[in-house]
Amino acid sequence: MRIEQLTFTRFLAALFIVVFHYGLDIPPFTHPSISFLFSNIGISYFFVLSGFVMVIAYSKSDKEIAPYQYYRNRFARVYPVYLFALLLSMLMMWICYFPLTWDGVTMNLLMLQAWFPQYPMLINRAGWTLSVEVLFYLSFPFLYNKVYLKFRLIPIAFGILLFWLLSQLLSSYLISIPSLIKEDSTSHHLIYYFPFMHFNQFLIGNLFGILLLHSYERFRKKWDILVIVLLAGMAALLKFSIPYANYHNGFLALFFAFIILIISLNTGYITKISNSKIGIFLGEISFGMYILQIPIHDAFYKSTKPLYYDHPNWFFYLYLITLIFISAISYNYAETPLRKLLKK
């Protein structure tokens, strides 16, 4: 099963991440009525969505997943553009005289950087999330074959919700200690980037993917109003943030998963707009937008430095257009052909 309307939400999440990193000082994102929306939550949404679509994509039958084929497909999907972004980041570091270390390069090439607190922000800083995704990919065939196909919904839901709750309690406790979240400290990197700290979000996505399979035929109808209400509720949570709630590590995972579920069941106008050709295409290039955002920004800054200082608004929007354009080129002429080749 493929839920096309979810594809466009990937583009929106990637766009929000880019704005969070580079556009918070750029109008209209500085306006008080919307500035709070561009918080550090896009990664959490991606992790939940990853767990959700993984269940949907491999639910065609009750057969077990063949691990080798699954791992090959995942590798073909993410590694080519990941490697391209990594090489581009290394090139920019060389041009700008930033030091490269063999261990840092090796960890990034193997997608292991998030497992070690000294490496997640080295070279292409956005790449740490792929190190987390590797944990998701490695665990999913086991989860699907040995848990989701073997047990009923209630014990699965109980186990996942309990794991999520314990994860949030631990995360909230850790971020309540100021000395542990000091920027660039070992403890900070372990709390925010260590893969197991994000596993709860993937599992929540899995759970709601299973819920969709149980409810798709019965509850598929026009849910536009509910989608709008849920989005307004999320905006309220961002506007009036809860103390010691770690939004980055999955506090909003249940909320995101419910939004994803309702969007998947929706047949209204929002779905029709999301399912347009341009909406789907923008969603398809979203991974390129995310993983290329930092090296493209560095290259754009290096080549147009006066524009950055004299006209920062123009710089940001030209950078954003360039990022979307290069992501589209990468998707059409690198990601798609290489994925097909690697799958063979």
What pLDDT was estimated at residue 61? 64
**Looking at the predicted structure, is the pLDDT value of residue 341 above 90?**
no
Within the chain, strands assigned E span none
C-alpha span between 30 and 33 (Å, rounded) = 9
Residues 334, 84: Cα–Cα separation, whole Å: 9
- Residues 6 or more apart whose CB falls under 8 angstroms from that of 76 comprise 338, 339, 342, 343
Q: Is the pLDDT of residue 59 over 70?
A: yes
Q: Based on C-alpha coordinates, what's the Rg of the chain?
A: 20
What is the arithmetic mean of pLDDT over 91-112?
92
| pTM of the complete model | 0.95
Tell me what the mean pLDDT of segment 137-163 comes to.
96
Q: Report residue 226's pLDDT band, with 50, 70 and 90 as the boundaries.
A: very high
- Mean pLDDT (the chain) is 93
Q: Structural domain boundaries of the chain?
A: 30-271
DSSP state letters, 152-197: -HHHHHHHHHHHHHHHHHHHHHHHTSGGGG-TT-HHHHHHHH-GGG
* pLDDT for 298: 95
d(CA 286, CA 183): 28
Per-residue model confidence (pLDDT) at position 1: 75
Report DSSP letters for 111-140, one per residue.
Answer: T-GGGSTTSTTSSSGGGHHHHHHHHHHHHH
Tens of pLDDT along 205-220? 999 999 999 999 899 9
Q: How far is CA 222 from CA 269, 280, 284, in A?
A: 8, 20, 25
Rounded to whole angstroms, how far apart are CA atoms 28 and 33?
Answer: 10
pLDDT tens, residue by residue, 168-197: 999 999 999 999 999 889 999 999 999 999
Beta-bridge partners for 266? 221
186/203 Cα distance (integer angstroms): 26
Share of the chain above pLDDT 70, in %: 99
